Amino acid sequence: MARGPDGQGGGAGFSLADQLFNARTIAQLSREYAALPGFDGAAFATQALAGMPGRGLLERLEFLADGIAAQLPREFPAMAEALEAAMPPPLDPARTDNDFGQFIHAVPGILAVRHGLENHTERALDLIYRATQRFSMEFYIRPFLNARPGPTLDRLRQWVGDDNYHVRRLVSEGTRPRLPWARNITLDPLVPLAFLDRLHSDPTRYVTRSVANHMNDISKLAPDAVTTRLRQWRKDGRQCPGELDWMTRHALRTAVKRGDPGALALLGYGDATALSVSVQLDRTRVAVGERLEFDVTVGAETDTRVLVDYRIHFARPNGKTGSKVFKLGTADISAAAPGRWRKSHLIKGDATTFRWHSGLHRLVVQVNGLDRAEVAFEVQA
């Protein structure tokens, strides 16, 4: 379940912020900084723990940074040296995926932005380089891209070939146009493609997943640039075919949902204009809490790979409509073997993202990005 920066989610009473920042993790952080001469770890832990209630996840990070900075040298070069001295060992370099690190180790990134961005850019980037090997610095590289794009891009060009995969991932993840939770960046979204040209062949899934997510972001802004690049990567042959196939599907997931012809063609889905498509409802009137049941048939004269979705256009009391796309399936069909799907769609009364209203609704069948069949049904709320 996706959780926002307030740290809430996962059901009543659940707090991600409490899982990440609690007596145990704050004690761990205080022990790490207590190794510094003159740092009062016990006082920091008491103050930090008392300040957690009522603060969201990102607010807790800022509060921890306040408490740590209060006991560090005020001049940034000396502060950075102390922050590096208190860092735990780097994350396990033998792992290849899902090793994000602990949120408590985001503090150096926060202080790099606060105290190093304006007058100590190079030293702050040194700190981020070391910190991202303990906790991903994707949030904290972005202010540098906005305020100091020249030196920051120079560093990223160096880091793209770094031995540490966390550093390589930062190059992709930190430059994503639409990184969740993060502040926007003013960087031209096509500039990082030069980095992705190198990173797409990375042997580490943690990096290639970031590249695929990055490409998915770009596909919302410049879809042709993404399909062109993916075709070129296939020609280059620097990534194993299975991994590149996975990356391609992941990178094009939004474009496919949107029905982008270039994305669908790259994934091998054929021209839908010559296909025969029909949809048949079991009944045309359904109440909230019941199921809308229907059959879809797709026929072809030649062998064709198809991706079949359906979209429901919802009636609204103000006369406007909303819509949502749902997956139906994929198949390789032919004249002798048409594709057939049966679906039972619950008209859910307690949906969290929208509410069903009485009135006429439409169900549209989309095949390989094209709307090919449509039927109306009535909902009784």
- Structural domain boundaries of the chain? 72-266, 276-380
Q: Summarize pLDDT for 283-342 with one digit per residue, the tens.
A: 999 999 999 999 999 999 999 999 999 999 998 887 777 899 899 999 999 999 999 999
How far is it, in rounded angstroms, from Cα 200 to Cα 217?
Answer: 15
Which CATH code is given to the segment(s) 72-266?
Answer: 1.25.40.290
Bridge partners (DSSP) of residue 378 are 285, 360
Task: Give the rounded percent of residues in the chain with a pLDDT score beyond 70.
Answer: 95
How far is it, in rounded angstroms, from Cα 178 to Cα 217?
Answer: 6
Task: For residue 368, give the nearest of 233, 295, 277 by alpha carbon.
Answer: 277
How does DSSP classify residue 103? G
Helices (H), the chain: 16-20, 23-34, 41-50, 57-69, 76-85, 107-116, 121-131, 138-147, 149-159, 165-173, 193-199, 205-219, 223-236, 241-251, 253-258, 261-266
What confidence score (pLDDT) does residue 8 get? 46
Location of structure tokens 């001049």: 75
Location of structure tokens 């990356």: 247
Task: For residue 128, give the nearest of 118, 119, 173, 116 by alpha carbon.
Answer: 116
Residue 257 token pair: 């949902």
Task: Give the rounded percent of residues in the chain with a pLDDT score beyond 90.
Answer: 83
How far is it, in rounded angstroms, from Cα 197 to Cα 234?
Answer: 11
Q: Summarize pLDDT for 97-132 with one digit per residue, the tens.
A: 777 789 999 999 999 999 999 999 999 999 999 999
Which of the four pLDDT bands, split at 50, 70 and 90, describes residue 349? confident
Mean pLDDT over 49-70 rounds to: 96
Task: For residue 351, give the nearest of 288, 281, 285, 293 by alpha carbon.
Answer: 288
Exposed e or buried b per residue across 185-206, where buried means at least 16 C-beta atoms within 10 angstroms of its C-beta: bebebeebbebbbbbbbbebbb
Which of the four pLDDT bands, split at 50, 70 and 90, describes residue 3? very low
What confidence score (pLDDT) does residue 130 get? 98
How far is it, in rounded angstroms, from Cα 82 to Cα 328?
Answer: 56
Which of the four pLDDT bands, split at 50, 70 and 90, describes residue 188? very high
Residue 2 has pLDDT above 50, yes or no: no
Higher pLDDT, 237 or 320: 237
Residue 114, classed as helix, strand or coil, is helix
What confidence score (pLDDT) does residue 33 get? 98
Superfamily of domain 276-380: Immunoglobulins (2.60.40.10)
What confidence score (pLDDT) does residue 14 get? 56
Residue 357, classed as helix, strand or coil, is coil
Our CA angle for 294, 300, 305, nearest 5°, is: 85
Candidate from 127-136, 253-262, 278-287 with smallest mean pLDDT? 253-262
What confidence score (pLDDT) does residue 319 get? 73
